[in-house]
Amino acid sequence: MRITYIHQYFKTPAMSGGTRSYEFARRLVERGHEVHMITGDPDADRARVTTEAGIVVHWLPVPYDNAMSYRRRLWSFLGFVGRSALVAGRLRHDLVFATSTPLTVAVPGAWAALRRRVPMVLEVRDVWPELPIAMGALRSPVSRWAAHRLEAWAYRRSARVIALSPGMAASIRRRFPGVAVTVVPNSSDRKLFGRADRAGERLRRDTPWLGDRPLVLYAGTLGVANGVDYLVRMAARLADTDPEVRIVILGDGRMRATLRDLAARLGVLDRNLFLLGPVSKAEVVAFFGACDLAASVFADVPELGANSPNKVFDAFAAGRPVAVNHDGWIADLITGHGAGLVLPAHDTGAAAAAVSAFLGDPAACRTARAAAYALARDRFDRDLLFGDFERVLTEAAQYRSTTRAGAGRTAASSRRIHISRAS
């Protein structure tokens, strides 16, 4: 198939951020498909085209940063809609695949699909629009109405929908019973993280403040929704009760300066908490290999519990337990398989005590590490989930081809009947 793949935040392994689209697109190419990726390049002043692992990538100069206000982000989304629609409309394809966030990618996706009379498959990465409403991004009745209309329109235009978690799929099915939804969560790249232990050992040797001390790692976005101040406050409790435990916050985002100020005020910055900049996907392997516990935290917004955080599946791939501070499917997964900890959402003192007890129990750590890696191997292996992903795309394309062929045969039959009766 010729596939046009639209993702505003596409990342390669040399960049910081999730690489789901890169890994799935690369595998599509390896399976013989032709893939054109349309994405934004926030640092560019002109469009360019490159080839990444066989993927033809169309980079568009669209500013975006997590530190932007909601209003500026909206303008970024709309700018990408216009530019990507122009590029997608020129491409020849058999299928269009559009992945949110933002959900506005459905607009250029639907336009490109309609222009070539091919199906669109839409991937949903957030509970939309419940999440932006809960986060305060959509406050006015008009914006909420428009978001609901966009969602309904996008689903009607999609041959199939992929959701990244059971909660997202349930939300869609509850409100749109006729939509065909398949869950394909984020995945664990066991090949990439197969060298995590050795890379982690080198990182520990080269980092004097770490050495052989216990390490809790947060690697991800530092946005409002992520609620990483929870870890800063937990570090303040650990500084008094278990000062050898190190917490590393690795990433960037709107709340970075606020987190630094809070850590300095609580007296933990560069003491037992270290705020480091973002690193590439390839470089983050060493940090997961060095850590004893990976953290995935969110602000206290129930809708965030349906998310599918990359950092969780990276931790599983490295064979590392995960600690979360929220309810939802990931918390249920961790509890059900013994692959880490579910921490109290509002009590960082109790969280610090639970983390300290866990890290101080070598047998519990070994058991949780084995359980985490078993999840990576048996349920979330990237190659395994890519098979589900490709199957959705293939079925969407085949269904449309069969429907069109059937319509063609019906039309031809009708013409023959008409001619016969006329004669």
Q: What is the DSSP string of 299-330?
A: -S-GGGGG---HHHHHHHHTT--EEESS-SHH
pLDDT of residue 97: 98
What CA–CA distances, in Å, run from 416 to 405, 406, 407? Answer: 17, 15, 14
CATH fold for domain 2-187+381-411: Rossmann fold (3.40.50)
pLDDT tens track for 148-205: 899 999 999 999 999 999 999 999 999 999 999 999 999 999 999 999 999 999 999 9
User: What tens-digit pLDDT sequence spans the chain (423 residues)?
Assistant: 999 999 999 999 999 889 999 999 999 999 999 999 999 998 888 999 999 999 999 999 998 776 667 677 777 888 899 999 999 999 999 999 999 878 899 999 999 999 999 999 999 998 877 887 887 777 888 888 988 899 999 999 999 999 999 999 999 999 999 999 999 999 999 999 999 999 999 999 999 999 999 999 999 999 999 999 999 999 999 999 999 999 999 999 999 999 999 999 999 999 999 999 999 999 999 999 999 999 999 999 888 888 999 999 999 999 999 999 999 999 999 999 999 999 999 999 999 999 999 999 999 999 999 999 999 999 999 999 999 999 999 999 986 555 444 434 433 333 333 333 333
What's the whole-model pTM score?
0.90
Angle between helices 362-378 and 329-337 (to 10 degrees): 120
Q: What is the DSSP string of 132-158?
A: HHHTTS--SHHHHHHHHHHHHHHHHT-
pLDDT of residue 414: 35
Judge whether 2-187+381-411 and 192-378 match in fold: yes
Q: List the structure tokens of 375.
A: 């999840």
pLDDT of residue 68: 67
**CATH code assigned to 192-378:** 3.40.50.2000
pLDDT of residue 44: 85
Residue recorded with tokens 């009708």: 414
Bridge-based pairing of strands 48-52 and 55-60 is antiparallel
pLDDT tens track for 205-214: 999 999 999 9
Choose among 290, 284, 296: nearest CA to 230: 296
pLDDT of residue 77: 80
CA distance linking residue 21 with residue 30, whole number of Å: 14
CA distance linking residue 318 with residue 191, whole number of Å: 10
% of the chain beyond a pLDDT of 90? 79
Domain boundaries, the chain: 2-187+381-411, 192-378
| Residue 60 CA from chain centroid, whole number | 21
